Every structure is written in C-alpha cells, then in structure tokens.
Structure 1
Amino acid sequence: MKAVVLAAGEGTRLRPLTEDKPKGMVEVDGKPILTHCFNQLVDLGADEFVVVVGYRKQDIISYYGDEFDGIPLTYAHQREQKGLAHALLTVEEYIDDDFMLILGDNIFDANLGDVINRQQEDRADAAFLTEEVPLEEADRYGVCDTNDYGEITDVVEKPENPPSNLVMTGFYTFSPAIFHACHLVQPSKRGEYEISEAIDLLIQSGRTIDAIRMDGWRVDVGYPEDRDKAERLLQDDESEPKISEASAN
C-alpha cells in the first residue's frame, strides 16, 4: 500500500522552532517529525511514499532524497497551503489503489494497523483513527458522529458547538474515491478545502466510512509545548522495561 505524507505546512505556531526549517523537520527525541512518520509507515508495510511538500520544500528533499529505508520517495508540490483536501489532490496522479494518509506533524504510538485492517475487511472507502478529547477542546478538530456499527454518519470541521467529543486524528486510509470528493469540496469559512468536507461528501453519497477508536497515544505537534510532550512520551516508551518471550512464559 502506498503512503501519502502531508508535509507542506509552514508551522507558524511552532515558532521559533520553525524559523529556519519546515514543520516536518522539527526534531523530537533527536529525529525529525517526518522520520517518526516514515518509520511508523514502514512498520505498517508501506511500499512507496508520496510526500506533499511546500514551505522550504528543498530542506525535506535534500535531507531524505529519493528513498527512505529502501522505500521509494516521490514528492508532490503544494504551491499554496489551502487545506488538506487541496493538498491531497496534488498526489492524485500517483495513486491508483487504496492508500494510507498521515499528517506529517503527528506522532503516534497507537493501533494504526487496525485502521488498515478494518478498511480492507469492510471494503470501505475510508477509515480513520479517532480519539475522545475534552468537549471544550473538540472545536479544534474535525468532529465525528457514528452509528452503532462504528460507521461515520457526519463530520464537521472545527464546529462552534461540537456534536460530540469524538475527533479525527491524523491517520487515514482511503480508496481513490476520495479524490472525486476532494474535487467537489468548496472553501470553508476559513478559506480552506477541508478533508472533513470531502469525507462528509463520501458519507452523503452512501459510501462506507469506518471509525476506529485509538488505543495508545498521539501528539499533534502544533506548538512548542506539543513537541516537548511528544518527546517525553517517546522517552517514557524507550525507558519501559521490555519483557522477553522467555520471561513472559
């Protein structure tokens, strides 16, 4: 499965960490955020990366070149940052089957493989990881409603009055149907082409969309304090004692 990584952002909220580098190149626990993303996608079986670049794109291209851990890297250029649906359309020519999508400013230690498995089992057109957040924070995210089968029934981007506290995280799988939906998306009140609107169009057209509850943690590295939080969590994971198979038995 190909993996699309969105890494075109400038990271203005991360300043001063992004004064001389794009957001994806900010280091967390000694490695750029993008390296953490790539490693997670390698573990999930990605056989090709398509990376959307924009702000200071040459920093990313020069650092990673044309492969990562033996897996080919292709770059797509988002000339203007107009939202995630707009960014996704820059890779349309490279995708002809189901694919993974990760936001290149997120670090996960979670059940990402469950998202892939569920989409394949249900032959869904989209599946993504969700998490519950405090209701007062839900207006920062794409907010979901689901039915009794775990299927998404509605998605609203950064609503003033969130209908729930279940929000989308930064990991998805899609069929190519998402591109048609992205072409139909109209600019939001923020002037951006929202991925949540594209997903909602899939829902309204009768497509199957699955929501998988997160088991683990993730950090959306949007502010300097988020970088510090992600670093602490990674270091805590590294310091936990590993139980060998022999001792476990």
Structure 2
Amino acid sequence: MTIKKAIILSAGQGSRLLPLTRDVPKCMIDFNGRTLISWQIAALVANGVTDIVVVTGFRTERVEDHALQLYRETGARIRTLFNPFFQVADNLGSCWIAREEMDQDFIILNGDTIVSDEIVAKLVSGAKDAITVTVDVKPDGDYDDDDMKVNRDESGRLHHIGKRLLPPDTNAESIGMLAFVGEGPAIFRNQVDQMMRTPEGVARWYLRAIDIIAKGNRVGTVSIEGLEWQEVDFPQDVDAANALTEKWVSQGRYGA
C-alpha cells in the first residue's frame, strides 16, 4: 500500500513552551538544524508522501514561508491552509478547515510530534482498516494525565481513545498519527462536520471523533513499540527532542 497525502495540524502556538514560542510557532522550533515540521516532512517524503497540507494558525506567515522553502528542498507539493479561529478552537476545528483535502487516502499528524521514517512506514503497511491509529505501549503501563490513552483488544481493534481513560482500561497511547484509507476519509470527514455543527464542537480534539466512530465502526491500531518518536509539549520535551534528532543527524538520516 502507498499513501501519497498527509495533513499536518500545526495551527497552535504551543503556550506550554513559553517563552520559547512567544514569536515562533511550535512547529518552527529548531532541532539540530531542522525545524520540527521539517523533520516530520522528511519522514513522510522518505515513504513516498508527495502531497502535504499544513494547517496553520499562530504566526502563519512564518510557516507559509517555511513551507515554500521545504517545497523547494524536497520537491513534495507542500501547501498551507490558514485556520482563522485557531485561538478559540481546538484541533477539531483545524480538521474542519482541511475537510475538503480529505478526498483520498491520507495520513494525519499532530504538528508537535517528531516521528521516524520507520514509524511512517509501519503505519502505511499496517493500514488495513478504514481508520488506523498509531499507538505506542509503555511496558510499565504508567500512562500519565496528558497521554492520549487507548483501549484496544487483542485483535488490535480500538474501542476507546481519550485522556480520561482509567488505568485499568488503558493498554496503549496514541502518538497523534493516523491513516485513513478507502471509506476512512469520508467517515472521518462526516463525523468532523457533524461535531462542528454543535455548540461544543470548537472545544473538541479530533481524536474525540475517532472515539465516537469506534463505537460503530472498526478502528484499527498499529503498534510502533520500540521505535523512536518524541512529542514536544513541555520544556523537558525540547531537551528529549534535541537528543533524539542529534542522534539522527550523527547517523546521517534524511540527508541531515
């Protein structure tokens, strides 16, 4: 299987990283000579993704200019969509802005997560269901309040996803990257549209849509346990992401 399209949700400022993100969007933080979004795009392009849509918000001009630079460097078609209500809506709103781009098989990726090319490859090869969620597993089962927790069965089917899952019901965590194939894009697009028509829609995470979909449809999972990724939410995450990308640079990955 090949998936040619990706949508990256990069509208937020990253206020938990202030003052680092006072004037710089989170996706533009530099890690060893590459921005966070550049690392993401390198992993996607390495797996044949050639059409990339970036949903922007905070300091959109910086991201737009950088997207043009990355287009020139990679040859991939990299476009931006501005989310004008990024300050008052959560990322379900960014999905709604990008709904017309959900017109074929695609990958969606949170704009604050650095992933390796192996992770993208594993998701693409494992996307057997209409919707597939990439998950990691903590051997000690110690998932914290900020983890997007997942309950799945032995077949890999996802039953629930959300930050409020109780420890006994949690056996994995979402890394914020999903694949939609076949009917998946239409199923997701329709659910996003329904939720955004409600008063509380703007305050929702898009993974809430996945939780609702999973009640009536099979949502699959792919485990990337043991592979390298790093979410960048807090100051300590910046140090961890620097260490990870420093290793990748020393290995010469993605031509870095």
TM-score (normalised: structure 2): 0.84
Aligned equivalent of 2:54: 51
In structure 1, the gaps of 5 or more residues are 243-249
Aligned partners of 1:5 and 1:52 also within 8 Å = yes
Q: How much does 1:241 deviate?
A: 10
The one-letter amino acid paired with 1:198 is A
The one-letter amino acid paired with 1:144 is V
Give the secondary-structure state (helix, strand or coil) at the position aligned to 1:138.
coil
Q: How much does 1:30 deviate?
A: 1.7
Change in Cα spacing, 1:241 to 1:46, as seen in structure 2 (3 Å) is closer
How much identity, in percent, do the aligned residues show? 21
The one-letter amino acid paired with 1:93 is E
Aligned equivalent of 1:146: 152
Aligned equivalent of 1:101: 108
Q: How much does 1:217 deviate?
A: 1.8
Give the Cα–Cα distance (whole angstroms) in 2 for the partners of residues 237 and 34 of structure 1. 15
Give the Cα–Cα distance (whole angstroms) in 2 for the partners of residues 188 and 31 of structure 1. 39
Map residues 104-123 of structure 1 onto 2, 5 A cutoff: 104-109=111-116, 110-119=118-127, 122=128
Change in Cα spacing, 1:62 to 1:238, as seen in structure 2 (3 Å) is closer
TM-score (normalised: structure 1): 0.86
Change in Cα spacing, 1:234 to 1:179, as seen in structure 2 (3 Å) is same
Give the Cα–Cα distance (whole angstroms) in 2 for the partners of residues 54 and 237 of structure 1. 29
Change in Cα spacing, 1:30 to 1:224, as seen in structure 2 (3 Å) is farther
Aligned partners of 1:145 and 1:153 also within 8 Å = yes
Q: How much does 1:93 deviate?
A: 1.4
Change in Cα spacing, 1:99 to 1:191, as seen in structure 2 (3 Å) is closer
Give the Cα–Cα distance (whole angstroms) in 2 for the partners of residues 111 and 71 of structure 1. 19
Tell me the number of residue pairs that the alignment of Structure 1 and Structure 2 aligns: 237
The one-letter amino acid paired with 1:170 is G
Map residues 6-25 of structure 1 onto 2, 5 A cutoff: 6-25=9-28
Aligned partners of 1:139 and 1:160 also within 8 Å = no
